[in-house]
């Protein structure tokens, strides 16, 4: 999970990174960095952020390999990138971040072989004004959708590619009072390209990860690694 947040009260940017350390996603490795607000040199701020992102990926891989008796590295890496108006959000930021992670993964060896994991990049953004309901025509009236409901909507966002690989809206948390705010997931990068069946598995995994946040007995709005990163920011 990756998040970059701007705090207007202190005019500072926070970059947070949280990675799972085991296949069950029960343990996490995290880092958080503070950046001064760009003052005439935003390019330097982005360079610092990308440099720290690359270092975080390398350190997280080392921490992952230390969890087992024999050094192992993950065969699949999924990045949930939160969007909240952070430092590298916007045109060009996505491409630079993906390139940083790819560079951090390149050339690593594991048990005498070149480590070449798959890389999946999902942009996650809150939906502040969109609501999903069920039973609008029933006698009881409109109700929140059940937890885990996913819908494919044609939504355009300025920070997303014009033709994403996949896009869906999902409501994971239970809201007994009031209306539930769903979350928009956009698959923007995959290496190598996956089949439609694996895209469905990605949606299911994303939903299951919303139950892995340690501080809530149930599902939260975001997958646990991203939820942890947001709390750190």
Tens digit of each residue's pLDDT (9 = 90 or more) over 88-115: 554 457 888 888 899 999 888 777 778 8
pLDDT greater than 70 at residue 37: no
pLDDT value at residue 91: 42
Q: Which residue has the higher pLDDT, 203 or 83?
A: 203
pLDDT value at residue 206: 94
Q: What's the predicted TM-score (pTM) here? A: 0.86
Q: Give the percent of the chain with pLDDT over 90.
A: 23
Q: Which two tokens stand for residue 116?
A: 């070449």
Strands 28-36 and 76-82 turn out to be: unpaired
Strands 76-82 and 118-126 turn out to be: parallel
pLDDT greater than 50 at residue 120: yes
Q: What angle do CA 107, 113, 116 make, to 5 degrees?
A: 50
Q: Give the percent of the chain with pLDDT over 70.
A: 82
Distance CA 97, CA 230 (A): 18
pLDDT value at residue 162: 61
Distance CA 56, CA 29 (A): 9
What confidence tens digit (pLDDT) does each residue in 209-232 have?
999 998 888 889 899 999 999 888
Average pLDDT over residues 30-37: 78
Average pLDDT over residues 113-136: 82
Distance CA 157, CA 42 (A): 23
pLDDT greater than 80 at residue 87: no
pLDDT value at residue 26: 82
What confidence tens digit (pLDDT) does each residue in 144-191 have?
777 777 878 666 555 555 677 888 888 888 777 777 788 889 898 998
pLDDT greater than 70 at residue 139: no
pLDDT value at residue 38: 53
pLDDT value at residue 135: 66
Q: Which residue has the higher pLDDT, 134 or 31?
A: 31
- If you average pLDDT over every residue of the chain, what do you get? 80
Helix ranges (DSSP H) in the chain: 42-65, 93-105, 196-209, 224-232
């Amino acid at each position: 999970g990756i998040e970059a947040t701007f705090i207007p009260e202190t005019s500072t940017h926070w970059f947070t990174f949280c990675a799972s350390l085991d296949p069950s996603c029960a343990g996490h490795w995290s880092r958080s960095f503070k950046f001064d607000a760009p003052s005439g040199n935003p390019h330097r701020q982005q360079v610092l952020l990308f440099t720290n992102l690359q270092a975080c990926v390398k350190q997280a891989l080392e921490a992952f390999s230390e969890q087992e008796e024999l050094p192992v590295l993950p065969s699949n890496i999924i990045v949930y990138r939160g969007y909240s108006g952070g430092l590298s959000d916007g045109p060009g930021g996505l491409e630079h971040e993906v390139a940083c992670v790819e560079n951090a993964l390149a050339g690593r060896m594991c048990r005498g072989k070149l480590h070449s994991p798959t890389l999946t990049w999902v942009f996650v953004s809150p939906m502040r004004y969109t609501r999903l309901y069920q039973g609008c025509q029933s006698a009881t009236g409109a109700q929140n959708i059940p937890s885990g409901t996913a819908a494919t909507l044609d939504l355009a966002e300025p920070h997303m590619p014009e033709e994403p690989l996949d896009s869906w809206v999902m409501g994971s948390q239970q809201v007994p009072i009031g209306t539930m705010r769903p979350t928009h997931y956009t698959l923007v990068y995959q290496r190598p390209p996956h089949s439609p069946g694996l895209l469905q598995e990605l949606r299911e995994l994303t939903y299951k990860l919303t139950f892995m946040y340690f501080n809530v007995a149930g599902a939260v709005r975001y997958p646990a690694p991203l939820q942890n990163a947001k709390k750190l920011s």
